[in-house]
Homo-oligomer: A and B are copies of this chain.
Amino acid sequence: MNVNVFKIAMSSPDDMSELDRLISEGQINPKHIVAILAKTEGNGCVNDFTRGFSTFVFKHYLAQKLATTEQEIADKVAFVMSGGTEGVMSPHAMIFTQEEVEQVETNGEKSLAVSVGFTRDFLPEEIGTTTMVEEVRKTVDRLIGEAGIESKDDVHFVQIKCPLLTSERISDARSRGKSVVVDDTYKSMGYSRGASALGVAVALNEVAADKVTNEAILTDWSLYSSVASTSAGVELLNCEVILMGNSAQSVSPFRIGHSVMQDAIDLDSVLEAIANSGLQLHGLPNETDKAKIVNVLAKAEAAPDGQVRERRTTMLTDSDINHTRQARAVVNGVIAAIVGDPMVYVSGGAEHQGPAGGGPISVIIRK
């Protein structure tokens, strides 16, 4: 199996020009595309329509290129659009392709492997509960196998798009005599993200299954995954999972590693994540090192107590700019300063994804 990653600039959420160029030049065969992750330039909050716009246009473009329907594209390719490119974050997409190749001898050297899958649809009353945790766990387990990853330690990034509650879904549950985890539809996003992340944590033995009770979800912040990155969307009822790691069965020219930022300015963990991907660093990355770093994928959030290194910050009391927008600007700036490129992928909202105020950080390098 061969896996490739292409990072392309986007001049707007509907800019297909770079993808089109790569396809025209034969660098990308559109049939091989399995996942597209993009940072789009909306506010990353409730009314961010740049995510839906970008997804719509990507599907439309690929359907035309492959002379098929948009529904077939949707069934085959995972789309994860993360809104919010505050500060110097540069809007871009990552195109992941996968292709069966005649088996090449890898000598046990592990390279980037990717698998994509889905849980079953959830009933409204299951969203944000241990049922969701368990279903995600099973899917992650399965995807590890499908990616040809032998050890759970070789899993470095698990992106999940998960459902949320709407007024209609809540009514549906009630009409069947069931209760939902929370009435507030906005808050249900957090529960769904948190439960999904804990599903990853249990699958990878980061957290013991018996600790993950319904009471612990969104309460016990000591429980978290170091590789999960989850986001909620209204358009689906199941979880869509993209799993990345390293496998000896892959002949990809790329490799992935990760670490966990303890807070928004945790420079050491950025260096650790780079080293974990296999790049030997002596202090800060030099130009040769930087050229090998394809992308960094990180989660950002304001610490719930509003403090960073015991200093008061004002992100949570700023009623003009949502704190997630500020957190993304900071974490992106820190990573960009180290890797010398503002085109890195930082996404907000990190319930049970890394410790409070911090978040997982993964690095993909060209070997």
Contact of A321 among B13, B14, B86, B338 (CB under 8 A): B86
Q: Would you call A146 an interface residue if the criterion is a C-beta within 8 Å of the partner chain's C-beta atoms?
A: no
In the bound complex, CA of A309 to CA of B343 (Å): 9
In the bound complex, CA of A291 to CA of B89 (Å): 31
Pick out which of these stretches binds chain B: A51-59, A113-121, A134-142: A51-59
Chain B residues contacting A60 (CB-CB under 8 Å) are 60
Q: Would you call A11 an interface residue if the criterion is a C-beta within 8 Å of the partner chain's C-beta atoms?
A: yes
CB pair B43–A319 under 8 Å, yes or no, is yes
Q: Would you call A283 an interface residue if the criterion is a C-beta within 8 Å of the partner chain's C-beta atoms?
A: yes
Pick out which of these stretches binds chain B: A28-36, A96-104, A325-333: A325-333
The quantity of this chain's copies bound in the complex is 4
Chain B residues contacting A322 (CB-CB under 8 Å) are 319-320
Chain B residues contacting A313 (CB-CB under 8 Å) are 85, 87-90, 342
Chain B residues contacting A266 (CB-CB under 8 Å) are 337
In the bound complex, CA of A115 to CA of B341 (Å): 40
Chain B residues contacting A321 (CB-CB under 8 Å) are 86, 321, 325
Number of A residues near B (Cβ < 8 Å) is 61
CB pair B311–A341 under 8 Å, yes or no, is yes
- Beyond A321-B321, A342-B265, whether A312 also contacts B56 by CB under 8 A is no
Closest chain B CB from A34 CB (angstroms)? 24
CB pair B87–A48 under 8 Å, yes or no, is no
Q: Would you call A340 an interface residue if the criterion is a C-beta within 8 Å of the partner chain's C-beta atoms?
A: yes
Chain B residues contacting A49 (CB-CB under 8 Å) are 12-14, 41-42, 49-50, 53
Interface residues of A in 136-174 (CB under 8 A from B): none
CB pair B88–A320 under 8 Å, yes or no, is no
Chain B residues contacting A43 (CB-CB under 8 Å) are 319-320
Interface residues of A in 19-49 (CB under 8 A from B): 41-43, 45-49
Q: Would you call A91 an interface residue if the criterion is a C-beta within 8 Å of the partner chain's C-beta atoms?
A: yes
In the bound complex, CA of A88 to CA of B267 (Å): 14
- Residues of chain A whose beta carbon lies under 8 Å from any beta carbon of chain B: 9, 11-14, 41-43, 45-50, 52-53, 56-57, 60, 85-91, 264-267, 283-284, 308-309, 311-315, 317-322, 325-327, 329-334, 336-338, 340-343
7 pairs, A vs B, C-beta closer than 8 Å: A41-B317, A49-B49, A60-B60, A89-B313, A267-B338, A308-B336, A333-B333
